[in-house]
């Protein structure tokens, strides 16, 4: 394998990038925020198009459903636009920062720092302030009066949640935080299960990832990468997930 320093760019995209994440589709396209709009670049033909909607301010996070039907764009103020990606039509506008039935402190920083669809496409997981929220994925076929229905909200972090990650089977989630921990939750409440805290870092935990078999977690921090087994003999901590060898428990 050639060293990373020898890698050469294959395409130079002619748009101004300011902030936010980029996404790749199965059809060899790149989805990128460009200010308060979204551009789609065809990496095969080197052509691009801009989706016909805008957010009030620059886009901070993008998420695309696994089937490629629903795109969510969230700006730096937490205002989201839900779009039928294939048709380019706006289905709904939603404000993650809008006051509502939440335990969040209104004075806290409630920026949406990460947002992801579950692998089965049924749910959306968003990092908002020190909490993480699971929402049901709205239909991409028609506009609805109130399409965003909250499924569950996770608490326990003492500082902003920086990233969220789904288990490959969509039955558990990982959150990482500035409080130097990662936490493991289940999608639905399970009898006898308590959220697992993965501690030991000396800096903010930037991200965490499940292994393909859901048996371990990798959690890099700015200067190190740690690993915890979630099944069988632990290296640091262990937990059994329902469906992965029996009843959930520590």
Q: CA 120 to CA 27: how far, in whole Å?
A: 19
Q: Are 173 and 157 in contact (CB under 8 A)?
A: no
- Mean pLDDT of the region 38-65: 91
Domain boundaries along the sequence of the chain:
15-155, 165-250
What whole-number distance in Å separates Cα of residue 15 and Cα of residue 208?
Answer: 31
Residue 105 scores a pLDDT above 90: no
pLDDT of residue 139: 78
Mean pLDDT, range 19-44, rounded to an integer: 87
Q: What is the mean pLDDT of the chain?
A: 77
Percent of the chain at pLDDT exceeding 70: 70
Mean pLDDT over residues 184-192, rounded? 88
Q: Which CATH class is domain 15-155?
A: mainly beta
pLDDT at 148: 80
pTM of the model: 0.76
| pLDDT tens digits, 107-151 | 455 689 999 999 999 999 999 888 999 999 887 665 666 678 899
- Per-residue pLDDT at 21: 87
Does residue 203 have a pLDDT over 50?
A: yes
């Amino acid at each position: 394998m050639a060293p990373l320093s020898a890698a050469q760019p294959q395409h130079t995209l002619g748009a101004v990038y300011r902030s936010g994440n980029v996404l790749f589709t199965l059809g060899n396209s790149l989805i990128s925020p460009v200010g308060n709009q979204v551009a789609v670049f065809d990496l095969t033909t080197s052509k691009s198009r801009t989706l016909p909607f805008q957010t009030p301010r620059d886009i901070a996070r993008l998420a695309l459903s696994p089937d490629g039907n629903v795109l969510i764009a969230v700006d730096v103020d937490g205002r989201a636009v839900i779009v039928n990606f294939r048709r380019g039509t706006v289905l709904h506008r939603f404000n993650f920062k809008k006051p509502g039935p939440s335990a969040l402190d209104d004075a806290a920083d409630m920026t949406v720092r990460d947002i992801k669809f579950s692998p089965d496409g049924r749910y959306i997981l968003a990092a908002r302030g020190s909490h993480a929220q699971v929402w049901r994925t709205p239909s991409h076929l028609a506009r609805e009066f109130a399409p965003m229905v909250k499924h569950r909200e996770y608490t326990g972090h003492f500082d902003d949640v920086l990233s969220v990650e789904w288990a490959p089977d969509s039955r558990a989630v990982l959150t990482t935080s500035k409080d130097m921990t990662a936490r493991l939750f289940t999608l639905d409440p399970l009898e006898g299960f308590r959220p697992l805290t993965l501690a030991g870092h000396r800096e903010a935990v930037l991200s965490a990832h499940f292994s393909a078999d859901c048996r371990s977690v990798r959690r890099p921090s700015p200067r190190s990468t740690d690993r915890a087994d979630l099944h069988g003999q632990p290296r640091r901590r262990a937990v059994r997930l329902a469906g992965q060898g029996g009843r959930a428990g520590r």
